[in-house]
Every structure is written in structure tokens, then in C-alpha cells.
Amino acid sequence: MSDISVDGDRLLMRLKELGNIGRDAGGRLVRLAGSDGDKLGRDLFVCWLSQAGLDVAVDRIGNIFGIWRPAGTEDCQPLMLGSHIDTVINAGIYDGCYGVVAGLEVIQALKAANFRPIRPIAVAAFTNEEGVRFAPDMMGSLVYARGLDVDAALSTVGTDGAILGEELKRIGYAGAEAPGFLKPFAYVELHIEQGPVLEREGIALGAVENLQGISWQRITVEGTANHAGTTPINMRADAGYGAARIIAYLRERARSSATPTVATVGCLELEPNAINVIPSRATLTVDLRDPFEHRLKEESGALGAFLEMLAREEQLLISVEQLAQSSPVAFNREIVQMIEGAAEKRGLTCRRMTSGAGHDAQMIAPIAPTAMIFVPSCGGISHNPAEYTSKADLVAGANVLMDVVRHISSQACI
């Protein structure tokens, strides 16, 4: 099973070449969905697909597919690989891009070795996974899996006032295919971990068995603005203090729990934001994550009860807006076991993992058997120009992906 290997030099060269596209005047990698930089990245990817002799298709939401259809496989559902090539602002070069480039590399290595699958193999680059310019994130794969209407998605207004559908037309990637035109037999996504676990434990590979559920909330705390010097502490309705209590509560509850629940306050605004005025309003966001639905609901309920108590104690008015919610995803056990087996045959250490981040795989999972492979991220750093994974780890992950692809693409058509 491990007698074929990917071309590691070509894999690394392509990651670097793609990583040089979409740089701004300050040298930052900023390849937001529908932007000029996104167009250049897409153009390069399509060029590579054509050079590899793959059929290229683009659907209405701009998802790009390179499809290898050996003779006799036309009536079979394809095995799909992939991820995304859009980035955050000031990004690294591996997040998402590694899964797309490695998927193409696997197909090319198999073609060069005269491997003959009994079903097509496709590599996908999904639109707007990051969700920086257009919301929600993972939009292309969500539309593809029919979790969001394509026309509604195309009418999305970005942070700069641009409309996604118009931007896709402008850059030449408003495709003709209906989303979901290519129903996958299975989907496997290779990705950097974006966390510190594999590196810290000295493990070469992660077989991702599930993905955390996410609850995003915006909390508004309203108090009374007053003079910072003349208002006694016990006579204050201090919205800033209320926000601080919420932040401390979330941290201590997560720290004292035996579960993998995590909680983050990522945005905080105070009004009137003056040094000598007690805040009258605090607005903060809460990101709750857990791999089990019941625990995510428990944490949301516990937070709600704490907010009620806090409002009474501090004479505050507290309201909550649910911004987004996604359920945990359990990946396909058979594919997870294949990943473990392929790693073992390659002499690589492997552990099962939960993904703390969202990925296109979670959107595809409801329509096809799905799993993910993680490789280590140095320092656990991602969404940052310091994002780095060694060549050895990148090649190892791609080789395990290839072995899984050989196994799944040899399964009989139904």
C-alpha cells in the first residue's frame, strides 16, 4: 500500500508559489473571497488542474473541481478531496491550501504510477471558507451540501459593500454547474492541525474523528454612566465590571471542567470609553465550543443562568443575541480507521483527534462519508504569517492521504 509516494518537492513548490499570490503592498498574504488576489490564486490552481489533464468544473457559488475520470469510471460517484484557498488577513501559506495542493498531488502521483481507480477522484477548492469578507464562513461547501440556498449566498453583501455574486462574475468564477452536481462517494480533507497537540505530544498524524460544535453569542450589558471619582463602588451599575465578571466566569468554568469545552471572548467594546466615566454599556462576544451537543447546550444554559444572577447582583440589564450555532460533527469511523491503518503502514505515529476549528469537511459530512487528516503545526500557530509545517510532515500527510485514496477509490461502485 505504501509503494507509491508523492513528489514532495512539487508539493512544497506549489504551496510556496500559491503563497506568494495575493500579497498586499506591505507583503501580507490577503486573498479574500472574490478579490483580485482570489482570482489570481484560482487562475493558478485551474492552470495546474489543466496541466495535470483533469476535467475542470466550476459551480455557481464558485467552487472549483478538478476531476480525474479514467475510462470506465464515468458512472461511479467520485471520491472527493480538497479544502480552500481563500485566506484571512495577514495569513500563513498552509491553512486550507495544503489540502487542495496535496489533493492534486495525490492524483498526479497515482496517475504517474499507472494506478487505475474504479471510481473518479476529484479535488475541490471551496469558495469563502474563511468568511472574512462574506458571511457565513464555509459558505461554498455549505451551499454545495444544500445547507444554504445558492441565490441567497450569491446576494450576500460583504464587509466592503460588495455583493458576492457580482464579485464572482467580475473575477470570472461564476460557474454554470449547479452546486452539488458532483455527489461524492466519500470526502477526505487533509489539513494542518492549527493547534499545538500533535507537536507537543510528538505524534506525526491526527486521525480526526469529530469536530466541535460552536455557539456564537453577542452579550450586551447596560448600566449607568457616572463620574468615576464621585460614585461609590457599591452604588454603581458598572457595565464594564459586568463584562469583566462574564469573562472571568467563562475562563474559570472552562478551566475547572474535566471536559474539552473551551470559551473565548474575542470582541469587547465599552461605552462611552472614557477614562473617568463608569461604562454605561459593554458589548462582548462569546465563542463556546465542545464536541458534544448536550455539553454545548449545558454550557449555554449555565452562562444564561450566570447572566441572570449577575444582572440582579449588579443592577444591570443584560441581553443576549445568538449569532451562529453549528452542531458537533462525527466523522465516518471506517475512514478514520483507514487513516490509522495507513499511518501505521507508513511507520507513522497517529492519534485520534477532535477538530477545534471549523472546516469544509463538516459541511460535506451530512451528504457523504467524511473524515480529516491533521499534520502538526509548529507552535500551534495558524492564521498568522508564522504558520509553519515541516516538509517531512507535509509529505507524510500527503502520502497517508494517497494510501487512503487508493483504498477508497478501489471500492466497488454501487
Q: Write out pLDDT tens, residues 224-238.
A: 999 999 999 999 999
What residues pair up with 268 in beta bridges, in sequence order?
284
Grid coordinates representing 15 are: 504551496
**What does the pLDDT average to over 274-283?**
98
Question: Could you write out the DSSP letters of every residue in 309-338?
Answer: HHHHHHT-EEEEEEEEEE--EEPPHHHHHH
CB atoms within 10 A of CB 309: 12
Report field, pTM of the whole predicted structure over 0.95: no
Mean pLDDT, rounded, of the chain = 96
Question: Could you write out the DSSP letters of every residue in 1-57?
Answer: --S----HHHHHHHHHHHHTTTB-TTS-BB--TTSHHHHHHHHHHHHHHHHTT-EEE
pLDDT of 145 over the 60 cut: yes
In whole angstroms, give the CA distance from residue 201 to residue 209.
18
Q: What is the DSSP letter of 357?
A: S
Q: Is the sign of the CA dihedral 375, 376, 380, 386 positive or negative? A: negative
First and final C-alpha spacing in the chain: 24
What does the pLDDT read at residue 377?
A: 98
In whole angstroms, give the CA distance from residue 299 to residue 356.
16
CB 245 within 8 A of CB 311: no
pLDDT classification of 414: cutoffs 50, 70, 90: low
pLDDT (tens digit, 9 = 90+) per residue, 313-328? 999 999 999 988 888 9
**What does the pLDDT average to over 250-271?**
94
- Residues whose CB falls within 8 Å of the CB of residue 166, separated by 6 or more in sequence, listed in order: none
What does the pLDDT read at residue 68?
A: 98
Grid coordinates representing 22 are: 495575493
Domain ranges of the chain: 8-211+328-408, 218-326
pLDDT (tens digit, 9 = 90+) per residue, 350-377? 999 999 898 999 999 999 999 999 999 9
What does the pLDDT read at residue 227?
A: 97
In whole angstroms, give the CA distance from residue 8 to residue 112.
14
SS3 185: coil
CATH of domain 218-326: 3.30.70.360
Largest CA distance in the chain: 83
Report the run of H or E that residue 113 belongs to, with start and end: none
CATH class belonging to 8-211+328-408: alpha beta
Bond into 385 cis (ω within 30): no
Report the run of H or E that residue 89 belongs to, with start and end: none
What does the pLDDT read at residue 411?
A: 83
**What does the pLDDT average to over 257-274?**
94
What does the pLDDT read at residue 351?
A: 98
**What does the pLDDT average to over 290-301?**
94
pLDDT classification of 274: cutoffs 50, 70, 90: very high
- Residues whose CB falls within 8 Å of the CB of residue 232, separated by 6 or more in sequence, listed in order: none
